[in-house]
């Protein structure tokens, strides 16, 4: 059911976005979901509707599925301390820095504090295997991309081996920017190649890394024994109560227990047993559906998506009888073992299906394991999973089954201030805080559905509908939900919600107190009695974000506003050895006008609420996946969609190589490439040591059995500070947005915008 290129849906947010938020970002990241009716039409109570007694404050491809894969851990493997916080332990943070000033949103540079430098570890297109071709942006194929580092880097972790000299890097690839990946017109000339290459650029990468000395920067290993690309062709095992459900069966998989691939992998987390969890988020935007009530609740469209995957891969057309359940097979938490490239990744149905930003695990004092997760869309919910089995230290095989069976809850938050004190402009209520209590409402408990007229598999496949029925609290885009490994307190990044308080939408409440919330909040909550399986919690808003020099309705945990860095649109969170919170942002240019960034936030004592900016990413980019190894003075981030509004021919970013076409050396490219970046402290007496890219492929003669360098085509492995120069910055600043000279017309119906061919 092919649509002509001239009539396909594209950029419906053009003319509707506010500030400097790009309509192209809206289309490519989530299919311009905001232009569709609010998915959550439930009439749930809001946090201000029930006022509790005051509580004490601060007291969670049509593809074959055969393959030589095994489920479970490597036989006999001991459980390493793989999570970042477990590897580095607790203690005083030695990562001292002077906060940088905010960087304007038209600056194409990666900025770090004085006495720090940065370098990419790996970039989109860098080859991972011996037989992987070198990156060639003008001749991309699905075959080459499936063996190279994927596109838009999101969730990140750096997992060192016990020796500290080797390890693995794990990264999610959330979505693709075809406008910067391919020459203009390539999609029209060769749709199948573009679509399948983009499919191969989604998913995840596992990459071995190495360094010459503990505390020095890393290089990636081409041909590393653990290197792996996980894409939309990778076989996944479905586990948990919904495995085998009729709601998951398709003509390619009549068992409902095998799924080809993963997509839109956003955030995630490392488990205490050394595996990685990844959340499938905006999966709706690749399908065309019949428009059932369940599909509408999840935002699935009834028109051809702009990437046109259903025209190439029929399983993405859910109107076909044999594929009507294919959308139900995405939107889960997946688990992979980065130490075993032959293991089968798993989709966990026990954690429910929605637009998972990610999932993060915490182990209670009694061994009970919980996983927290946010549903990243306006007016959606916060969830908690409680495992029925206990964690066993050192038993990886047992622990990898902990997320297969347990209870699922959704959060209801209640404010403790009278409704009239929540004014919508950020003014604090009389008690001086936005705070209250909360309850975990059961959806699945003891293996049984707690929802009338919904079976267990229906609750897990249509979790949003189940949460609607129990009256969960509508939140302002709950993204990363992560427990502090030092205290057990849970921090939620509530990114923004410009529709909050508008006519026809949910009004403000104490947990979501700002009308037209475009800067976001950070929510802190504490499980009652310190028990991870408690059904009650206390909460407060740690941050009401924004630029305090321009907005009086901000709040920074009581810290003086004039002494903080402005922050907007919190997205991902992390923690350092001292238990400080680190926040990366997504969308800051849309409100405060600065490039997205990474911030350190104090949580205790006189430092509580103190926000300090550590770095900023280039023009049009988003800061993702922060990792803080502060006892080595190392910080890592993933830089997603640099120069997103530009085009292949006219880039709006030159990150990370920062060279013009006439000056590009071997392995350098004059175009934006999403990348994983390491930030390291400069020693006054020496430069950092880089081994260069290395390969596990043995050399010959005297080099037999030894690792050898890949050659000059990888990142240059030196400090990149100052590599962005006036020529590249000016050229990026002057570049047109890729959609500036297109003509648009209203197609009528559902706010759809159609794009005639560009007027060039």
- Tens digits of per-residue pLDDT, 408-440? 999 999 999 999 999 999 999 999 999 999 999
Is the pLDDT at 190 greater than 80? The verdict is: yes
Residue of 169, 227, 176 whose CA lies nearest to 201: 176
Q: Where are the alpha helices (DSSP H) in 688-742?
A: 726-734
pLDDT of residue 93: 79
Q: Are residues 307 and 195 in contact, defined by beta-carbon separation less than 8 angstroms?
A: yes
Residue of 434, 383, 430 whose CA lies nearest to 411: 383
pLDDT of residue 75: 30
More confident residue, 418 or 71: 418
Please give the distance of CA 70 from its chain centroid, rounded to a whole number: 27
Count other C-beta atoms under 10 Å from residue 156's C-beta.
24
Task: Output the furthest CA–CA distance in the chain (Å, rounded).
Answer: 81
Is the pLDDT at 697 greater than 70? The verdict is: no
Distance CA 326, CA 199 (A): 16
| Least confident interval from 183-192, 201-210, 673-682, 716-725 | 716-725
Contacts for 583 with CB less than 8 Å, ≥ 6 apart: 493, 522, 567, 570, 571, 572, 573, 598, 599, 601, 626
More confident residue, 236 or 55: 236
pLDDT in tens, 300-311: 999 999 999 999
Report residue 358's pLDDT band, with 50, 70 and 90 as the boundaries. very high
Report residue 709's pLDDT band, with 50, 70 and 90 as the boundaries. very low
Is the pLDDT at 53 greater than 90? The verdict is: no
Q: Are residues 747 and 755 in contact, defined by beta-carbon separation less than 8 angstroms?
A: no
Report residue 707's pLDDT band, with 50, 70 and 90 as the boundaries. very low
Phi, psi of 290 (to 5 degrees): -85, -15
Is the pLDDT at 80 greater than 60? The verdict is: no
More confident residue, 753 or 96: 96
Distance CA 282, CA 298 (A): 9
Region 104-123: mean pLDDT is 96
pLDDT of residue 84: 46
Region 336-362: mean pLDDT is 97
Residue of 744, 52, 38, 127 whose CA lies nearest to 419: 52
pLDDT above 70 as % of the chain: 81
pLDDT of residue 750: 30
Contacts for 206 with CB less than 8 Å, ≥ 6 apart: 168, 169, 170, 226, 227, 228, 230, 336, 338, 341
pTM here? Answer: 0.88
Q: What is the mean pLDDT of the chain?
A: 87
More confident residue, 452 or 696: 452
pLDDT of residue 665: 86
Is the pLDDT at 149 greater than 50? The verdict is: yes
Is the pLDDT at 49 greater than 60? The verdict is: no
């Amino acid at each position: 059911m092919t649509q002509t290129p001239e009539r396909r849906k594209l950029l419906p947010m053009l003319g509707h976005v506010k500030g400097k938020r790009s309509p192209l970002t809206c289309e490519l990241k989530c299919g311009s979901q905001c232009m569709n009716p609010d998915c959550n039409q439930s009439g749930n109570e809001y946090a201000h509707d029930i006022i509790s007694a005051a509580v004490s404050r601060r007291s969670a491809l049509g593809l074959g599925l055969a393959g030589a894969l095994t489920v479970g851990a490597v036989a006999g493997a001991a459980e390493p301390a793989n999570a970042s916080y477990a590897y580095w332990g607790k203690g005083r943070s030695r990562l001292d820095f002077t906060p940088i000033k905010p960087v304007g949103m038209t600056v194409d540079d990666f900025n770090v504090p004085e006495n720090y430098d940065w370098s990419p570890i790996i970039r989109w297109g860098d080859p991972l295997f011996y037989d992987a071709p070198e990156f060639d942006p003008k001749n991309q194929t699905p075959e080459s991309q499936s063996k190279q580092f994927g596109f838009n880097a999101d969730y990140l972790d750096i997992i060192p081996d016990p020796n500290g000299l080797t390890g693995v890097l794990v990264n999610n690839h959330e979505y693709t920017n075809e406008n910067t990946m391919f020459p203009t017109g390539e999609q029209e000339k060769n749709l199948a190649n573009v679509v399948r290459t983009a499919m191969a650029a989604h998913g995840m990468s596992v990459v071995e890394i190495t360094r010459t000395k503990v505390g020095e920067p890393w290089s990636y290993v081409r041909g590393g024994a653990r290197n792996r690309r996980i894409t939309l062709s990778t076989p996944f095992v479905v586990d948990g109560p919904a495995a085998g459900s009729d709601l998951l069966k398709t003509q390619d998989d009549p068992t409902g227990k095998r799924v080809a691939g993963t997509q839109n992998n956003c955030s995630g987390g490392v488990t205490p047993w050394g595996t990685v969890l990844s959340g499938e988020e905006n999966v709706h935007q690749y399908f065309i559906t019949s428009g059932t009530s369940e599909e509408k609740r999840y935002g699935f469209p009834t028109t051809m998506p702009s990437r046109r995957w259903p025209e190439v891969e029929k399983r993405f057309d859910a109107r076909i009888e044999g594929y009507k359940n294919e959308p139900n097979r995405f939107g889960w938490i997946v688990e992979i073992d980065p130490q075993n490239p032959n293991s089968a990744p798993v989709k966990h149905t026990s954690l429910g299906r929605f637009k998972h930003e990610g999932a993060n695990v915490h182990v209670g004092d009694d061994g009970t394991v919980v996983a927290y997760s946010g549903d990243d869309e306006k007016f959606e919910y916060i969830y908690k999973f409680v495992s029925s089995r206990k964690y066993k230290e050192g038993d990886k095989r047992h622990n990898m089954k902990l997320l297969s069976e347990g209870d699922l809850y959704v959060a209801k938050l209640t404010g403790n201030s009278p409704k009239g004190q929540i004014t919508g402009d950020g003014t604090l209520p009389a008690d001086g805080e936005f705070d209250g209590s909360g309850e975990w409402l059961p959806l699945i408990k003891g293996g049984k559905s707690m929802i009338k007229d919904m079976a267990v598999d229906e609750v897990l496949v249509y979790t949003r509908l189940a949460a609607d029925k129990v009256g969960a609290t509508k939140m302002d885009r709950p993204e990363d939900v992560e427990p502090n490994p030092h205290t057990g307190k849970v921090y939620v990044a509530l990114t923004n919600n410009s529709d909050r308080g508008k006519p026809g939408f949910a009004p403000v409440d104490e947990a979501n107190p700002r009308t037209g919330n475009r800067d976001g909040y950070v929510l802190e909550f504490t499980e009652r009695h310190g028990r991870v399986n408690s059904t009650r919690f206390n909460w407060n808003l740690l941050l009401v974000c924004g630029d305090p020099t321009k907005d009086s309705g901000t709040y920074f945990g009581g810290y003086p506003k004039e002494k903080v860095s402005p922050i907007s649109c919190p997205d991902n969170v992390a923690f350092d050895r001292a238990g400080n919170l680190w926040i990366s942002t997504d969308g800051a240019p849309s409100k405060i006008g600065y490039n997205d960034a990474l911030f350190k936030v104090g949580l205790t004592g006189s430092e509580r609420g103190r926000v300090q900016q550590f770095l900023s990413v280039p023009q049009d980019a988003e800061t993702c996946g922060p990792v803080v190894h502060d006892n080595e003075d190392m910080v890592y981030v993933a830089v997603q969609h640099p120069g997103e509004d530009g085009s292949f021919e006219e880039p709006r970013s030159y990150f990370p190589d920062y060279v013009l076409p006439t000056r590009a050396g071997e392995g350098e490219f004059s175009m934006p490439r999403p990348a994983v970046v390491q930030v390291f402290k400069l020693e006054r007496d020496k430069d950092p040591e880089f081994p260069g890219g290395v390969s596990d492929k043995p050399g010959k003669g005297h080099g037999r059995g030894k690792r050898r360098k890949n050659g000059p085509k990888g990142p240059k492995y030196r400090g990149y500070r100052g590599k962005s120069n006036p020529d590249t910055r000016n050229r990026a600043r002057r570049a047109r947005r890729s959609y500036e000279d297109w003509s648009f017309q209203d197609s009528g119906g559902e706010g759809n915008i159609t794009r005639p061919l560009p007027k060039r």
